[in-house]
Structure 1
Amino acid sequence: MQRASRKSLVCLATALVLSLAGCGQELNSTYGVRRPSGSVNGTEVLGQLFAEAGHDVSSWGWLSPRLAKKADCIVWFANDDRPPADDVCAWLDDWLYAAPGRTLIYVGRDYDAATAYWKQVRQGTQGEEYKRLSRRLADAQNERLAHTTGLKPTVDCPWFEIDRTQPRRDVRNLQGRTRWLDGIDPKKVEIELGARIIPPSDARSLLRDGKDRLVSRVQYDDSQMILVANGSFLLNLPLVNHEHRKLAAKLVDEIGATPQQVVFLDVPSGNPGILDADPQQTHLGVLDWLKHPTLGMVVLHLAALATLVIFCRAPIFGLPKKAAAAASADFGQHVAALGSLLERAGDAEYARGRIAAYEALARREPEVETKGATAT
């Protein structure tokens, strides 16, 4: 990846986080989706990494015939602490076997960037600000705890087993495939491990910390499924960390250099729906736009503004009126022009002299004409 592209990703990831730091703003913590952007738990930056590598990136909300035909790589950040349903596993298994060179990337749910965010912004504060941020941190932790309370310690699905019996910890060491370790400083990563994803025995470990696997690969003939323990180095906020961006780039490299159609499964919660046919796209008419609660108000305001402009710019209709014709010879205009010239001269005494001379000449002219007539 070019250095300029890497720099743009750094700016994007940093901007996503800094945009959330304003006082009084609600933190966007929507999990595992590319759109809307700006969430600390979003996947927009990872999607940009795929795009920078030359792949075509899009989002999809369900398992459907169009997805099965279009996608070369499916990325799914599961927004459920329970494993995928059996029918979802079966659909994706069939998709992997249907064509060579396909990749499914499954990322476990056991991480929430909102708690990490409040821990970071709380650092260096004190007094009332520290207390306020501590309350926000506690709220985020309690919300996360509410989603995991009551879950079974161990549970499995056709793909893997989830083990919640081990304590949560930070990753301190990294082992695995050489290409995953090259250029990575384990001391600078901030990866967390809570629930462990235990893949099948024939899975190949790509990245691990001791016995705990972080990234594993399961072969499906000429296709593959990549299992990632959680999103603690792949979501928007964690990707501010430089080492995490390098690890994410190595994940992108696993699908190959050939440009592919990479589709992110943007599922709000639970399992994606399975459709036998794709819903038909409908084109919205003017009335449909007006029915939308927000867009309708915008359209109405624009219509009112357009009406006002029309009334201001349109001609006035009715019987024509004759405008008063200007006189072709107006002595008053001559006087005004003469006054303007005298003013431009800038000499009041001279102007008064010229006016007096004119008045004297005007008084003598009738007498001259009478004398001329008598002589004749």
Structure 2
Amino acid sequence: MIGARISRWTVLLLLVCTLAIGCGRKSDNLQTGYGKRTGNQAGSVNGTKALSEMFRDAGYYVRSYGVVSPSLLRHDVIVWFPDSFDGPTPEFRDTILNWLNEEEGRTFIYVGRDFDASIEYWGDVLNKVDPTQKFDVMRQRSLAIESFDKLRNYQSPEVNYTLYKIERDVPRRIASSLTGPWAKGIDAAKTKIELRSRMIPPDEDSIYEGFNTYDEDAAPIHLVEDTEILLGTGKEAIVARLGSDYSDNQIILVNNGSFLLNLPLVNPEHRKLAAKLVNQCDPAYYAPDSVAFLETEGGVRIMNADQSTDGNSGWEWLSKWPLNLVGLQMAWWLIVLCFALYPIFGRAKRLPSAETSDFKKHIDSVGDLLQATDDHGYAQLRIQQYHQVMKGDTVYRRSKVRRGEGK
């Protein structure tokens, strides 16, 4: 199996970023964007940068997408952290099932939205700040809870997405004990897996009820005939695997990101669970090498063609590998080169003034003027007149010969 480990610099980066946010400051300084691993929200407490680095450390090529496109579907593993409480639509569900049916060794990971790390952050900060700052921290935590509940309260208490069911009308709880294969080697007392909804994986009968079995174009439901609880608490599933004895493809369902997002991964026990997720994507007979993180806002957009097409502007070659890795560096050095060669830095230098006493320059100027007349006879005449003047002789003047006739 692929040795899934998170690098030390990633952990240190997360710790530094968390501490740098500052205790008791306003929430404007706390990044809370959900499910992003790139851009300004990559360091968010709700981001997925740390998890993506674990995939990268395990040897995967990792990339992010905003829509479902042919480029996304060429990857071996797709990870989806939706920023809304809505599950997969039937169209998106069938797209994923057809993608799984195309090749072996593929994995789709779905992580539910029912968690907000900013609430946990302000709760931890509350016990560490000065008494003068506690009121402000309590206010920030209350605002985070209000914002989260406002999104959650508009959801239906029970929804069936065919691949799983969600029951939201349950009390909030912390998993005090862990069961299943992933629980081995995990100290449940040191984890903090928060559950606010109940995820119910399908059984063999319920999975067939969600599809029209008489439709020849129906999605390949035989890929998800078996259900395995990888991590649970009591009789409740936290992480479930949908698969089949006839295929190495699988769907991993995770109740929420309370142990997979940036802030929760500071916990060493949570990193162990995340490593088990990375290892789960490595089947026995296949070696997947690419992971795609699907970063959606609201609903999922499905496109039949990639967002960018070749030959539109002539600069598409900069987005192709490996030039896309060095394009920014090349542009930076070109800018530095332009600044080094062309602009004038500092005060402008004063050029030395020309000396008017140099008689040689006078001769060169007269020669240039005579050459410009293009009249050899006239030039010879002017030279003779010069010598006669210098010797004191009478100046010879040609009065009836026009310029140009002596050529």
| TM, length-normalised to structure 2 | 0.69
- Could you say which residue in structure 2 is the equivalent of 1:167? 171
User: Which residue number in structure 2 is paired with residue 123 of structure 1?
Assistant: 127
Structure 2 CA distance for aligned equivalents of residues 102 and 5 of structure 1: 22
- 2:208 maps to 1:184: no
- How far 1:86 sits from its partner (Å)? 1.1
Mapping of 1:49-64 within 5 angstroms? 49-64=54-69
Match of 1:239 among 256, 261, 265: 265
1:110 matched residue in structure 2:
114
1:183–1:51 CA distance, 2 compared to 1 (3 A):
same
Instruction: Name the count of aligned residue pairs.
Output: 306
CA distance in 2, matches of 1:181, 1:105: 19
**The one of 270, 275, 278 aligned to 2:306:** 278
The 1:18–1:276 alpha-carbon spacing in structure 2 relative to 1, beyond 3 Å, is same
Q: Which residue of structure 2 lines up, in the alignment, with residue 209 of structure 1? A: 233
Residue pairs, 1:309-320, within 5 angstroms: 309-310=343-344, 312=346
**Matching of residues 21-32 of structure 1 within 5 Å:** 21=22, 23-24=25-26, 26-32=29-35
- The correspondence for 1:89, drawn from 87, 93, 103, is 93
CA distance 1:256–1:136, shift in 2 (3 Å): same
The match for 1:355 is none
User: Where does residue 218 of structure 1 map in the other structure?
Assistant: 242
Preserved CA contact (<8 Å) 1:41 1:112: yes
Aligned to 1:296: none
Partner Cα separation in structure 2 for residue 81 and residue 48 of structure 1: 25
Kindly provide the CA deviation profile for residues 218-272 of structure 1, in whole angstroms up to 9, marking residues without a partner as x. Answer: 01532100000100000000000010001100110001173510110011x2232
Between 2-11 and 94-103, the greater mean CA deviation after superposition: 2-11
Equivalents in 2 of 1:324, 1:185: separation in Å?
96
Of residues 19, 26, 33 in structure 1, which corresponds to 2:36? 33
Q: Please state how far the C-alpha of 1:58 moved relative to its aligned partner.
A: 1.0
DSSP 3-state at the match of 2:256: coil
Pick which of 272-281 and 240-249 moved more.
Answer: 272-281
Aligned equivalent of 2:9: 8
Amino acid at match of 2:16: A
Q: Give structure 2 stretches of 5+ with no counterpart.
A: 204-225, 316-335, 359-407
CA distance in 2, matches of 1:233, 1:107: 11
Measure, in 2, the Cα distance between the counterparts of 1:51 and 1:78: 21
**Percentage of identical aligned residues:** 38
User: Once the 2 structures are TM-superposed, how far is the Cα of residue 310 of structure 1 from its aligned partner?
Assistant: 2.3
Residue 39 of structure 1 aligns to a residue whose secondary structure is: coil
Alignment partner, residue 358 of structure 1: none
Using the TM superposition, give the Cα deviation of residue 16 of structure 1 relative to its aligned residue in structure 2, in angstroms: 3.0
Taking structure 1 as the reference length, the TM-score comes to 0.74
Letter matched to residue 79 of structure 2: V
Whether the 8 Å contact between 2:167 and 2:199 is mirrored in structure 1 is yes
Q: Which runs of 5+ in 1 are unaligned?
A: 286-301, 326-376
- Report which stretch shifted further, 35-44 or 273-282: 273-282
Aligned partners of 2:63 and 2:293 also within 8 Å:
yes
1:157 equivalent to 2:161? Answer yes
Quick one: distance in 1 between partners of 2:314 and 2:125? 43
Aligned mates of 1:151, 1:284 — CA distance in 2: 46
Q: Distance in 2 between matches of 1:284 and 1:315?
A: 42
Is the contact made by 1:16 and 1:236 (CA closer than 8 Å) also made in structure 2? no
> Where does residue 67 of structure 1 map in the other structure?
72
Q: How does 1:324-363 map to 2 (within 5 A)?
A: none
**CA 1:223–1:27 in 2, change beyond 3 Å: closer, same or farther?**
same
Question: What are the superposed Cα offsets for residues 111-143 of structure 1, whole Å, 9 maximum, x if unpaired?
Answer: 000100111111133433000000000010000
Change (3 A) 1:5 1:193: closer
